[in-house]
Amino acid sequence: MSAQDPKRIPVIAAVGEYVDRPASLDVSLEPVALMERAIRACESDAGAALAPEINLISLIGLISWPYRDPVALLCEKLGIAPAERVNASMGGETPVRLVHEAAVRIAKGEALVAAIVGGESSSSSGRARKQGAKLPWTRAAKPEETVRFPSSRFAMSDVAKQLGIMDPAQVYPFYENATQVAWGQTPAQAQRESAQLWARYAEVAATNPSAWIQTSPSAETIETVSADNRMINWPYPKLMVANPSVNQGAAIVVMSLAKARDLGIADDTLIHIWGGASAIEPEDYLLRDRYDHSTAQQAVLDKAVTLAGGDAAKFKHMELYSCFPVVPKMALRTLGLDANKVAPTVAGGLTFFGGPLNNYMSHAIAGMARALRAHPGELGLIYGQGGYVNKHHALIVSTNPPPAPMATDYSVQTIADAARGPVPPLAENYAGPVTIETYTVTYARDGGPLSGIVIARTPDGARVMARTPAEDRATIEALTSMSKSAIGAGGHVQIDVFGKPTFNLGKEPRRRERKGCLVEKDGHLTIVTINRPDSMNALDPDTNAELAEIFDEFAADPEQWVAILTGAGDRAFSSGNDLKETARRMARGEPLETPVSGFAGITSRFDLNKPLIAAVNGVAMGGGFEIALACDLIIASDKATFALPEPKVGLAALAGGLLRLPQQIGLKQAMGMILTGRRVSAEEGHALGFVNEIAPADQLMAVARRWADEIMAVSPMSLRASKEIVRNGLATADIAEAYAAQSQAPAVRALFKSADMREGPLAFAQKRPPRWTGK
């Protein structure tokens, strides 16, 4: 059979789109309904009944509604039973790949009529969530029943997951900022280029009846940050990122030329598939060789140019994938085309046309079909990209047949892999000097920065990833400079109190400014005061972190033997978590984090062998009581009160209070407090046994210091050994087992090797006070 046999010539026979702009949610269309209408639009486009002819239907991975088996539901709505029904994969390049795969099967001789279809109703589902409305759609599948589309997850390094940098909107800026330096641009110059390019996409969307946004903002509007165009991830504001909040469906039908003619579809509407190419980058974006180039993109587009006869200028129509500006900017440079002289889109781009997640390129193919039908004989390039600059796929199409039969092997992976440079090793738990490789800054819903995110290199070339807190203004300002890129700048990485790598500019690690606490050192005694009296000494996230750092320093300082923790003012020791501040930060989209060492830096600190004294000067509520319970001694003002009231507001005392209180006062008495949330006075606390001593309010610190002085009069090494044995004993059910193990405790072994072990008997023999060193 000849290679030019019409039964082996693949064509796009029909395209269809549907946009739903419901007046109310009760008439909104669910994703599968959009897909059904897109298939019916294909029939109108072809002027033929296509649905009964379909023997392969591939449904592109969707997100906006949970279905058990969406492709089966779609077939039911269409009244068809094709031999192959596939819930296909996720990824922005997926429609291009599925069209190409169908074309290859036809070129190999299969009598295939393939429908590639997708749709999302994210606008309606998002509105329903906000309004708490119930949608009149197919019953939502339970999580365990919901279809799992292939490629719904990508490999991700632990540090990326730890820092929460898993959204494509956070990752593409790494490429944007890296390419700026590689291309010799300032951030301002690059931003202007992005805005001008995006304005060209917007112009096309404004003329596309299927576009979600049909206005055409200027480049100046696109790049100007405002209340309506807030920054998302540096340097991209809202008008430079994909817009998934749409209700759009699209379908493409691929068949042989012979089949199209049999169905009476006019030859001049058929789009011939000349061929294409595909390649991928390593899935994990931290395991790439570089961020200013993609060898997979290069190999794919080079092959596309070859198929066009060696000249990219022959592409009179293009769709360059446009989730973020860096993708088409890279593609245009790879193609050697001037962005000011070519049209980069036939549909309008994922910002202005709309970004129905994995299905945008189906709409782009529909737009390309219309463009080529209007300009017979011209050549079109369809370039799709998916994941995190992971997957790249290109197709060459025209109303004219290709000069040679379409190749059935289109992978250029070997070429891409050969061109890829060495991948630097990823350094985990690294602390020390680094140089910025690339970066971004994530922003809150109120437009302010949440944190900087830096990918950097260590002196030996390893790669690290770290965040910069918003309060490090100097570093954030450098990362958001429009006049100079921060790439190449030196800085320092350390592991913060949340167990996460943190970056700051400069040679030394940044010290957190103390705003919520006061620290006083008096000889071997450290006094820590929670200094938020206007908030009843409730802990906001910053104060929580401050306390964790303070107690880290206390634990590590051999000259500090005992600590007293108290609250400023006379009303409260601590009222627990600052719920107002927590609500404010949640509204901004900030993650809620607790230090590795727990609330106030002590409730999860199970290895501190130095004594802690809580000087409770007033209310110790919720988390405040849990802080006190985590201390070794509680000295209470006669005005102090204690409670675990969390159940009264639908919460639970999860910072150790539910575990420590029964240990310290017995189960029944503890349950009496826990189950009622009632307040307990200092006197009752003393009777129950969790308060060591009650002091008049004006004598509280004097009494606490007296206890500290008495503790410091004994051997610090003995105290540390004693505290470790007690702690281990409480954690061991069998006292015999705990007894046998006590001599192996690290603090006990250190005691036996210490100078204090020798000093005690010697001082007793010499009839003098011992001179403890704690060593």
CA–CA distance from 557 to each of 252, 281, 610, 648 (Å)? 69, 48, 11, 41
Q: What percent of the chain has pLDDT over 90?
A: 85
The one-character DSSP state at 57 is: E
Alpha-carbon gap, residue 30 to 154, rounded angstroms: 27
CB 131 within 8 A of CB 51: no
**In 108-226, which residue ranges form alpha helices assigned H by DSSP?**
122-131, 158-163, 168-182, 187-206, 219-223
User: Could you confirm whether 646 is annotated as catalytic?
Assistant: yes
* CA neighbor of 99 nearest in space, from 359, 283, 294, 323: 359
Give 658's contacts (C-beta < 8 A, 6+ positions apart): 644, 652, 674
| Secondary structure of residue 758 in the 3-state scheme | helix
**In 636-772, which residue ranges form alpha helices assigned H by DSSP?**
657-665, 667-676, 682-688, 700-712, 716-730, 735-741, 746-752, 755-765
**In 455-611, which residue ranges form alpha helices assigned H by DSSP?**
473-479, 541-556, 579-588
CB 191 within 8 A of CB 403: no
* CA neighbor of 313 nearest in space, from 326, 295, 332: 332
The encoded tokens of residue 509 equal 């690690």
Alpha-carbon gap, residue 758 to 770, rounded angstroms: 10
* CA neighbor of 475 nearest in space, from 436, 503, 497, 448: 503
CB 379 within 8 A of CB 307: no
For CA atoms 599, 604, 608, 614, the dihedral sign is positive
Q: Which of 101, 120, 549, 646 is catalytic?
A: 646
Q: Provide the pLDDT for residue 590.
A: 86
CA–CA distance from 516 to each of 291, 522, 706 (Å)? 40, 20, 26
Q: Phi/psi of residue 578, each to 5°? A: -80, 95
- Cis bond upstream, residue 235 (ω within 30): yes
CB 79 within 8 A of CB 138: no
* CA neighbor of 391 nearest in space, from 406, 407, 412, 408: 412
Alpha-carbon gap, residue 752 to 102, rounded angstroms: 77
Q: Provide the pLDDT for residue 456.
A: 98
Alpha-carbon gap, residue 258 to 268, rounded angstroms: 14
CB 367 within 8 A of CB 207: no
Give this prediction's pTM: 0.91
Residue with tokens 């020390």: 432
Q: What is the tens place of the pLDDT at every residue in 433-478?
A: 999 999 999 999 999 999 999 999 999 999 999 999 999 999 999 9
For CA atoms 662, 668, 674, 679, the dihedral sign is negative
Exposure of 264 by Cβ count < 10 A (0-12 exposed, 13-18 middle, 19+ buried)? exposed
Q: Provide the pLDDT for residue 651.
A: 85
CB 61 within 8 A of CB 50: no
For CA atoms 654, 656, 657, 662, the dihedral sign is positive
Residue with tokens 């730890």: 162
User: Could you confirm whether 626 is annotated as catalytic?
Assistant: yes
Strand-pairing partners, residue 615, are: 566, 635
Alpha-carbon gap, residue 45 to 344, rounded angstroms: 25
Low-confidence stretches of the chain (pLDDT beneath 50)? 1-2
Q: Provide the pLDDT for residue 339.
A: 86
